[in-house]
Amino acid sequence: MTVGALARERPAGRVTRVQALLWRRPWMRAALLLGPGLTWFVVIYLASLVLLLITAFWQINPFTTAIERVWNIDNFRTLVTDGTYRLIILRTIGLAAAVTITDAVLAFPFAYYMARVASRRVQTALFAAVLLPLWASYLARVYAWILILNHDGVLNWSLLLLHLPPASLGYTNWAMWIVFSYIWLPFMIIPTYAALERIPPSYLEAAADLGARQGRVTWDVILPLALPGIVAGSIFTFSLTLGDYVTPLLVGGAGSSFIGNVVYGNVGIAHNIPFAAALAVVPVAVMALYLVGARRLGAFEAM
Amino acid sequence: MEGPWLRFALRVWAVGILLFLFIPIGLVIVYAFNISTIQSWPIPGVTLKWFGQTWQDPEVRRALLLSVEAGLLATAVALVLGSMAAFAIHRFQFFGREVISFALVLPLALPGIITGMSLNSFFAFNQITFSLWTIVVGHATFCIVIVYNNVLARLRRTSSSLMEAAMDLGASGWRSFVDVTFPLISTALVAGALLAFALSFDEVIVTTFTAGAQNTLPLWIFGAIRLGQRLPEVNVVVFFVILITIVPVVIASRLTGGGAAGRVEAVAAAEEV
């Protein structure tokens, strides 16, 4: 074999050797595949989350608004002692809970109809119909409700047709409650439907054979079995409401600030990033507690 | 076993929920044709003039361009990193696999304000100035999850025996990937990319924290609604955004046989690994 032929063969040989090496050592292939994504994730996302937590324990110089890396818990102390912030935190959590309950009440009969009454074809169509609004732009759906709740909007026009007095829901906490319930409803319907669909019909027949009426069956058999699904849905409705600030800004009134609004204001206007970070830790802590509770109720198996 | 009255009541309830879900969307589409600059109901007349005016608006054009650029770049990053991660999680058993698959969905499961605020302090800490790239980083972080889940779901449904057969017939690892695995997962990749783009194109919360003074299309809408200015143009843009976000999703669900994995499924899938 000439030297030239050897040289020509070498690149192919090298590729083969690399391939062989990767084949013999699967962990290397795993590392190569997972490496870039994981690096991105750890270096950017997880590092950011940790940094957020650390920043919360720093403070700013009140004159220059530069961040001073002095460890203290003043930010958290302000959150606990200042009545305004306490009210905002309670309002956010309270509304998130109200939205979650509303969505559960709206979703359950609908999911029940999907899972147990509708034909297979209707079931598929309804599933798509529920998912579609979820993807239609979030802002578009908030804006739609601004138009509806407007003084001259569809709501008051319909009330007028029914000879009822006009409502002024725009820019109130009620408006936020309606809009949040509307926007996150599909997140509640889907897991509830999934849980209901998995209940074996034989359970219900057994209950009926033992003499239970429809109401009793629903209360004692269906509801407990659907509960993990409802809790799974509530993780979304609760978490998404908790972290929102766009809806409160657009449809809420003067007294409708959410945790998110104060965070946003402290980043954009006040430049107090440590305080914003401390406030942002609140929803994380609330969600962590919520997830622990949800896990106990079996929500993760239901998703 | 449900009695006829209960069935009837449930049907009425279901129709009510459907109306509740779709009337607002239908309505906002109608407003795009509103002849008046005042947004009241019923609209006094129908016109197409706002479409032309909106298209001519340089601010809207700039915002649209930025949204498309950010969406395409974030989708590209997500496609590469997300599908590689899905392959690794699917093919290999290793220590910490469950932890990784759970951590990967955090950007979708945690409130957007956390992701946004975290990235904001990250950029501030590293003294990175806001640009197209900071938006891309923010969007790619949650787009990766969407691609990851779609590819992983498809890999779980395809049998590894096809790949093994190709290799028994003498195909190299790369060759069997190109000729066997890739065609099998290609529609899942397209679906994942479409969903990721739709998600990025509509994102507001993370974007406000990573865009600085730049306007993406959702940020432009957000600002205009807040100030109550140029509402006829807002109507048109909103109409357009609904189309842009819904069309890819419809195509994606066709490609995956109705199983395109969005946010709900993404979090659910992570729990199953």
| Residue B34, helix vs strand vs coil | strand
Mean pLDDT calculated for residue range A130-157: 88
Q: Is the pLDDT of residue A4 over 60?
A: no
Go through chain B and tell me how many residues it has: 273
Position B176 scores a pLDDT of: 79
Percentage of chain B beyond pLDDT 70 is 93
> Is residue B10 in a domain?
no
A265-296 residue pLDDT tens: 888 777 788 888 888 888 888 888 888 887 77
A250:B106 CB<8 A: no
The pLDDT of residue A103 is 96
What is the band of B257 on the pLDDT scale with cuts at 50, 70, 90? Answer: low
Residue A10 has pLDDT above 70, yes or no: no
ipTM score of the complex? 0.84
As for how many domains chain B has, the answer is 1
pLDDT surpassing 70 at residue A109: yes
Question: Tokens 């994981």 identify what position?
Answer: A38
CA contacts within 13 A on the Cβ side of A217: 18
Q: Are A99 and A236 in contact (CB under 8 A)?
A: no
CA Rg, chain B, in Å? 22
pLDDT digits (tens, 9 = 90+) for A81-96: 888 899 999 999 999 9
pLDDT grade, residue B228 (50/70/90)?
A: confident
Share of chain A above pLDDT 90, in %: 22
With a cut of 90, say whether residue A97 has pLDDT above it. Answer: yes
Task: Kindly report the CATH number assigned to the domain that includes residue B169.
Answer: 1.10.3720.10
* A298 pLDDT tier (thresholds 50, 70, 90): low
Question: Mean pLDDT over residues A235-250, rounded?
Answer: 89
Nearest to B117 among A114, A214, A277 (CB): A277
CA–CA gap between residue B121 and residue A98 (Å, rounded):
31
Question: What pLDDT is stored for residue B77 in this prediction?
Answer: 94
List CB contacts of A49: < 8 A, sequence separation 6 or more.
B106, B114, B118
- What is d(CA B207, CA B134) in angstroms, rounded to the nearest whole number? 9
Which pLDDT band, with edges at 50, 70 and 90, does B271 fall under? very low
Instruction: Flag whether pLDDT at A7 surpasses 60.
Output: no
How far does A164 lie from chain B, in Å, by closest CA?
17
State the nearest Cα–Cα gap between B17 and chain A, in angstroms.
7
Q: Which amino acid is at B101?
A: S
Residues in CB range of A257: below 8 A, 6 or more apart: A88, A91, A248
Q: Within the 126-165 window of chain B, which residues sit less than 8 Å (CB to CB) from chain A? A: 137, 140-141, 144, 148
Q: What is the pLDDT of residue A8?
A: 47
Banded model confidence at residue B272, pLDDT cuts 50, 70, 90: very low
- SS (HEC) of A67-85: EECCCCCHHHHHHHHCHHH
Distance CA A247, CA B226 (A): 11
Chain A nearest C-alpha distance from B121 (Å)? 6
- A179-203 tens-digit pLDDT: 999 999 999 998 899 889 888 888 8
**What residue in A sits closest to B87 (Cα-Cα)?**
A33
Place of tokens 């909106």: B54
The domains of chain A are located at: 3-40, 82-302
Q: Say which residue, B255 or A266, is predicted with more confidence.
A: A266
User: B174 burial class (0-12, 13-18, 19+ CB within 10 angstroms)?
Assistant: exposed
CA-based nearest residue to A46, from B206, B104, B129, B271: B104
Residue B46, SS3 per DSSP: strand
Q: Is B75 inside a domain boundary?
A: yes
Taking CA–CA distances from B221, the nearest residue in chain A reads: A139
Q: Lowest mean pLDDT: which of A259-263, B105-109, B140-144?
A: B105-109
Tell me what pLDDT residue B23 has. 93
Asked whether residue B30 is assigned to any structural domain, the reply reads: no
If you average pLDDT over every residue of chain A, what do you get? 84
Average pLDDT score over residue span B70-93: 89
Beta strand A59-60 with A67-68 is antiparallel
Instruction: Give a yes or no: residue B168 inside a domain.
Output: yes
Does the model's pTM come out above 0.80? yes
Identify the pLDDT of residue A11. Answer: 53
pLDDT of B64-79, one tens digit each? 999 999 999 999 999 9
Is B218 a residue whose pLDDT tops 80? yes
Give, in order, the Cα–Cα distances in Å from B189 to each of A66, B144, B154, B260.
45, 12, 9, 10
- φ, ψ of residue B270 in degrees (nearest 5): -65, -30
> How many residues belong to chain A?
303
Nearest to A195 by CA among A121, A101, A297: A297
Q: To the nearest whole percent, how much of chain A has pLDDT over 70?
A: 92
Residues of chain B with Cβ-Cβ distance to A45 below 8 Å are 106-107, 115, 118-119, 141
Which residues form the domain of B142?
A: 49-272
Instruction: Evaluate if residue A6 carries a pLDDT over 50.
Output: no
Name the CATH superfamily housing domain A82-302.
MetI-like (1.10.3720.10)
Residue B177 lies in a domain: yes
The residues near A99 (Cβ < 8 Å, ≥ 6 apart) are A177, A180, A181, A184, A237, A238, A241
Q: Is the pLDDT of residue A23 over 60?
A: yes
Residue B86: how many CB atoms within 10 A of its CB?
Answer: 30
Q: Which one, of B58, B104, B50, B53, lies nearest residue B81 by Cα?
A: B104
What is the band of A220 on the pLDDT scale with cuts at 50, 70, 90? confident
Q: What is the mean pLDDT of residues A152-180?
A: 88
